[in-house]
Amino acid sequence: MPPATNIGTFGRRRDHEVGAYHHSTKQGRPNTRRRSSRTTQGYPDVCERQVFTSSRIPAVLTLPIPVRDFTSIPRLIVIRSFDVNKPGAEVQELRGGVAGGSILTGVLKLGMQIEVRPGIVTKDNEGKVRCQPIFSTIVTLLAERNQLDFAVPGGLIGVGTLIDPTLCRADRLVGQVLGAVGQLPKIYSGEN
Contacts of 77 (CB under 8 A, 6+ apart): 101, 102, 104, 175, 177, 178
Task: Assess contact for 84 and 140: CB atoms under 8 A.
Answer: no
Stated as kind and residue range, the H or E segment containing 72 is none
How many helices (DSSP H) and strands (DSSP E) are in the chain?
Answer: 3, 11
pLDDT, mean of residues 119-144:
92
Using CA atoms, how far residue 78 sits from 30, 61, 70, in Å, is 49, 29, 19
C-alpha–C-alpha distance, residues 117 and 189, integer Å: 12
Q: For residue range 24-78, what is the model confidence (pLDDT) as tens digits?
A: 445 555 555 554 444 444 445 555 666 666 667 777 778 888 788 888 999 999 9
pLDDT at residue 60, rounded to an integer = 75
**Interior CA angle at 70 toward 112 and 108, to 5°?**
20
pLDDT at residue 154, rounded to an integer = 84
Q: For residue range 138-186, what is the model confidence (pLDDT) as tens digits?
A: 999 999 889 999 999 988 999 999 999 999 999 999 999 999 999 988 8
Stated as kind and residue range, the H or E segment containing 39 is none
Domains and CATH numbers, the chain: 4-61 (no CATH), 75-180 (2.40.30.10)
